[in-house]
Chain A
Amino acid sequence: MTTAGPAVDTLKDALHRMMLIRRVEEQVIDLATSFDDLIRGHYHVYIGQEATGVGACMALGPDDYMFTTHRNHGHVIARGGEPGPVIAEIIGRTTGYNMGRGGTFHVIAKHLGVLQTSAVVAGGVPMAAGAAFSIKRRGTDQVSLVFFGDGVLEEGAFHEALNMSSLWNLPLIMMCENNSVHPEGRRQGEQPSSSFAATQLADVARAMNVETHVVDGGDAREVAALLTGLVGRTREGEGPFFIESRLTRWPGNRGQFPELIGGPHQMAWTWDPGTADERLQDWLANADPVSLLCRSLVEEGAMTRAEVEEIDATARQEAEEAREFALSSPIPSPESAMDHIFA
């Protein structure tokens, strides 16, 4: 990576956002498991992918568009979303960003350029290409960035949108978060999968004449540096771009219902992964983006452990306050179900 990474002050902000995502998602899991009636269906959390969301969003400007997925909580907070309205939306309260209409699957935040959140695999990619089409038509220098998981490459919608974004040179950045890579495979290697025939995801986009990049999605600095460059080039008309962000799945992310193994994250685990539950140790040592950034900042002398823990304490408190804000917020009136079918 030849581009310079963000300055330390910005990295501190990034670390705070990453920790805020982690602590908010822990609250979400706790709300889902402690109450029968708050998050009634299945849901998806962003623990373990914080560096990709935050690193990418650091590169965006205020007028850019961002599209996300069923795993949207972290993306919205990475984009600058406040934890209170995010949790309120997730539990369906009127103080949520869409006043409780969408819930965990559809956190939408218009003021952040998040206009529609599709919980259908690959649903967001054509729409993000459409936002890019609109940008080009209107002649602005905005960028449309779409996050999606590796399963999206199995869907036809992705290939159609990829083709058109390439044909029409759309200002689109496709950020594929491949969260099924073993730690050693994050920086290189193939991606053998029983449900996808290509062994390198980026090959697919390259075949459509789209410039591709592979990045260690657990490294916030690497993601931010890459995206800062690509966002700038996209504004200059060089889009689209496809990025495979290689990530390792958090061990608690199993099936449709996540589990906080050993309870909420403890900073002691970050400094000494051996003190954590055995199932977490390898992930904490080699893959957890929060722990990796904390340790590297301390090793480089940029921050002390106490300073890092102070940031975490702040994030934890913000997440707790957000939970209380959400829980004390009103539920929608039943008859409001009939509102806003048509403009």
Chain B
Amino acid sequence: MKIALALLALGLAGCAGQATQPGILCTAGEWDMPPAYHGNPWAPGGVGVARSFVFEALFDYIPETQKLVPRLGRSYHEEGHRLIVELEPGAVWHDGHAFSAQDVVATFQIGFLKGMEIWSYLDRIEAQDEHTVVFHWKIDSPTNRLLALTEPIVSPAHLNQQHLAVIQALPRGGQTRDLEAEGARRELLFAERPPLPIGTGPFRMRKVTASDMVLDRFEGYYRTQALKGVRIARWGRNEVIWSYLYAGQLDAISPACPYDVAQEILRRNPSLSARKPSDMNEMGLVINCRVKPLNELTFRQGLAYGLDRDAIRQLACGPGDTSQGLSLGLVPSQAEHWLGPQFSKGLTRYNYNPDKARQLLVTPERELEIMAPAGFTDLALLAEAAASQMTKLGVPASVRLVQGELYAQLLMEGKFDLAAVFGAQMGPTVHPSTSEGRFFARDAQLEKACGLPRNSQAEQWVADLRVSMDADQSRELCTRLARLQNESVSFIPCFEKRLLVFVQEGPRVTGWPAPDSPLWSAAPLGVERLYCSLAVQGYLRPAP
């Protein structure tokens, strides 16, 4: 008892230990706990959430304005099949070494080993001089520019000489690749375990423990940047994050959070406010079209008419936008941009209509199961709401939670009835080829899940869309794919997800952009990356 009291006294004596001063941005994230932690951005586990603060890309992309904000790159221009980038001359690595075009080359070269998407289109990359780098394309594609310009530059050439010489000699052609040599080199690359990452970014890693990451302002940074450092707490669980928000311990964070809890957090801590950018993905139910009675189109249509998506959205994702009865293979907010204003012409719209649903539905012989991954609150809630609605429609349904690893496997093997999933996702390049690809590309996850017969024509359309440089052709391809997707009713979209980003004005940091600022549209590309970009762009300042 005495010991307990003594401990309590100790606790009371020095609890100010975790209070942090103005100018330090506090957020939360995930990383491998020591001793597993390492500073090698390529090896499994990466460098954790610090990646967004320690490393930077040539440019930061803002989807809404389609603007590229200079970081390590100063400017770029395109000449024929080449992309030429002028680099920031003053940039320095955290170890003091000057940054040069060779480092950009090094990053993309090593990226080849990790299967970087850009190598499907890139022929070679060359350092023209100290501060100019040239990308030579073998195939033009609408995503090329973003793939090159927004990739974080993580590999200093001076620390990777031994890998570069070997990788440059590897054959690149589709059939002539030397997989064994690639594998051996990858092993050597992964085996490097520096204790902390070395980047060119505005923050430099000082320390990592199981619970905290401590980053200081990098004094050699080529721009003036006002924040003194970043402190990152381990994410643990969402409940922990909500507690930290109550306590005012976090300045910027985007947790999964029921709408009521969000309101309560905002009420309790008035210095917080919320931003709600679209997450560029659509959540819904994928239907396994192999099993009875889901193999019947009319039954699936019945379900599409019968589900009240707004009720599902309210429960699963308060701030989201309810889907309007169309499944386009595209995020709804992007539909008009890619398909034109007449996008819904000729498509069946499955608006909520329980009477029509009852006509189409038959009562199956058994209870249907909706699969959802355990631990993903929004998907589980979606499944639960849908199951209860189906039961009320006369199609008894229950929810089955499965562990994440198993979920992916069952999905691809088609061992489920319905499953709550992410449907259309626009990906880092915000291009429809990514989201349509999830439904129609070869080995696409959702196509495997729904089990409809392979459509080689659609596969070709997606392949064409990937490299189509012509706006009219892209629109035509998207329209065909959207029609195919909508009429097959293999996926019932429920809502477009919105992120909930909490930001705190003072006591440590001020200057968050207003809720309607287009800058927030970059949040789905990596919300921590956006925080760091806001600091570099001069929005964020230490609180007075």
Answer yes or no: do A and B interact.
no
